[in-house]
Amino acid sequence: MELLEQRIIKDGIVKAGNVLKVDSFLNHQIDIDLMNEIGKEFKRIFADVEITKIFTIEASGIAVAAIVAQYFNVPVVFAKKTQSINLDGSVYSTKIQSFTHKRVYDVIVSKKYLSPDDKILVVDDFLANGCAAEGLIELINESGATLQGVGIIIEKGFQDGGKRLREKGIRVESLAIIDAMNDETGEIKFRH
């Protein structure tokens, strides 16, 4: 997506440790006009499949998912990171290794909000090693819902999450794929 790539070049900051900072438009301050274009683009890409819910993970996925969901006219459900899993059987749960915080979170979603009838589009801001997406997919599988695809705003193609998910036959659509980035020069190379 040309508009997104231009914005990443203009405002993205390459940090050490393969981290791209996009705080000025995506992860801290949010450019709503850009988010709307992203929402339209995901709707165009996934127009051929039925979607009943958008599913993401807190915190940074929520804003994106909420705007994308308006173009699909469906609710957003987000998985919650939690300290203590309640054991009353009312939630699906899994563990997710956080890329940015280097720790493992217990992640839950209420059984009320994912059901076997649901057709799910997973949406997230970044795809790196794929742990977040895989955790969300595990929750979907626990619920018996159908995964229709994964929509990612920025995929770091030099990390192996996208490859792993696609090898499992999962439809992954990323609006920008970065093949290389350099924290010394600031250079970012996109895949086309």
What does the binding site for ligand 5GP look like in residue numbers (CB under 6 A)? 19-22, 27, 60, 99-100, 124-133, 161
- DSSP secondary structure string for all residues of 48-80: TS--SEEEEETTHHHHHHHHHHHHHT--EEEEE
Question: Which residue, 81 or 88, is less far from ligand 5GP as judged by CB?
Answer: 81
Q: Please identify, using beta-carbon distances, which residue of 132 and 176 lies nearer to ligand 5GP.
A: 132
Least separation in angstroms between residue 102's CB and ligand 5GP is 10
Closer residue to ligand 5GP in complex, CB, 36/98: 98
Pick the closest to residue 52 from 66, 78, 70, 72 (CA basis): 72
Three-class secondary structure of residue 185 per DSSP: coil
Shortest Å, Cβ 108 to ligand 5GP = 16
Residue with tokens 């997104």: 4
Residue 73: CB atoms within 10 A of its CB come to 8
- In the 8-state DSSP scheme, what is residue 24? I
d(CA 5, CA 176): 6
Q: In this complex, which beta carbon is closest to ligand 5GP, that of residue 114 or of residue 188?
A: 188
* Shortest Cβ 23–ligand 5GP spacing (Å): 7
**Shortest Å, Cβ 88 to ligand 5GP:** 28
